[in-house]
């Protein structure tokens, strides 16, 4: 069964709508773990539109005894290299980032910036950080991620969630199989919800499922512990 990692960015989105102190992402993380979450994920964006530096610091302190539970998503920038090297989360996931986007729109183009990313991963590894790269279900991108030293990849499931067909599902399956063949550990995420999770959760060799918006949205209605429990039950019952 893949582990369920909850992305709590949108707890901070609600907070930032009023520029106040609530709801508190740290409390959300604690409740998510009580509900059965196997990990917490946050994306510290350049524009700090939701999660901010204080959130990341508090989460790292809360999970200090279990750093493997903490995944930090970030762009491959000098600023984020400095922050992650001090915070030392269990996993860094490198993602593309645009100021205008509502959410991450696609996987990182590893082949297009191979030399830069290879040096960037070297710097992360020197700080004893595990690195994942968020990429599309594309063999060339997966192979390049392996070549530059990634420990994990995270397959972008957006195309499947937007068009949940056998064709798109098979692309995800083939990508995960190919990554395993290369010796890469594989996570998956983006757009996963209570309606489309089961076919993805049934795929063998997925280490972690990173799910955020759907669970946080449901928690507004039923509470985060119940929202997490329901998603966990779906995954357990595959």
**Are 165 and 157 in contact, with CB atoms under 8 Å apart?**
no
Q: How confident is the model at residue 192 (pLDDT cuts 50, 70, 90)?
A: very high
Separation between Cα atoms, residue 117 and residue 27, nearest integer Å: 34
Separation between Cα atoms, residue 70 and residue 92, nearest integer Å: 9
Residues 167-180: tens digit of each pLDDT: 999 999 999 999 99
pTM of the model: 0.92
The DSSP output letter for 73 is E
Select which of 10, 50, 156, 190 is catalytic: 190
Separation between Cα atoms, residue 8 and residue 61, nearest integer Å: 16
**Half-sphere exposure (Cβ direction) of 82: Cα atoms closer than 13 Å:** 4
Residues 15-74: tens digit of each pLDDT: 999 999 999 999 999 999 999 999 999 999 999 999 999 999 999 999 999 999 999 999
Q: What is the pLDDT of residue 103?
A: 58
What 3-state DSSP class applies to 214? helix
In the residue annotation, 210 being an active-site residue is answered as no
Nearest to 190 by CA among 96, 126, 122, 87: 96
In the residue annotation, 43 being an active-site residue is answered as yes
- By CB atoms closer than 10 A (0-12, 13-18, 19+), residue 66 is exposed
Select which of 73, 97, 154, 168 is catalytic: 73
Range of the domain at 7: 3-236
Select which of 10, 43, 50, 210 is catalytic: 43
Q: What is the pLDDT of residue 84?
A: 97
Count of domains forming the chain: 1
In the residue annotation, 195 being an active-site residue is answered as no
Q: What is the CATH number of the domain that holds 143?
A: 3.20.20.70
Separation between Cα atoms, residue 85 and residue 129, nearest integer Å: 8
In the numeric block, the tokens 């196997």 are attached to 38
């Amino acid at each position: 069964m893949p582990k369920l990692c909850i992305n709590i960015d949108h707890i901070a989105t609600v907070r930032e709508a009023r520029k106040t102190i609530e709801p508190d992402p740290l409390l959300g993380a604690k409740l998510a773990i009580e509900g059965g979450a196997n990990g917490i994920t946050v994306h510290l964006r350049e524009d700090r539109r939701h999660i901010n530096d204080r959130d990341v610091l508090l989460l790292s302190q809360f999970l200090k005894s279990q750093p493997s539970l903490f995944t930090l998503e970030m762009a491959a920038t000098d600023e984020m290299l400095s922050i992650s090297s001090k915070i030392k989360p269990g996993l860094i996931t490198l993602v593309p980032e645009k100021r205008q986007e509502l959410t991450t729109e696609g996987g990182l183009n590893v082949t297009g910036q191979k030399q830069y990313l290879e040096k960037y991963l070297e710097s992360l590894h020197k700080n004893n950080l595990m690195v994942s790269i968020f990429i599309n279900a594309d063999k060339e991108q997966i192979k390049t991620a392996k070549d530059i030293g990634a420990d994990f990849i995270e397959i972008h499931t957006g195309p499947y969630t937007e068009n949940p067909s056998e064709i798109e599902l098979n692309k995800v399956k083939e990508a995960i199989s190919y990554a395993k063949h290369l010796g890469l550990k594989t996570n998956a995420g983006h757009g996963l919800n209570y309606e489309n999770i089961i076919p993805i959760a049934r795929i063998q060799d997925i280490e972690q499922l990173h799910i955020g918006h759907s669970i946080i949205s449901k928690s507004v209605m039923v509470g985060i512990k119940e929202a997490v429990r329901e998603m966990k039950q779906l995954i357990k019952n595959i």
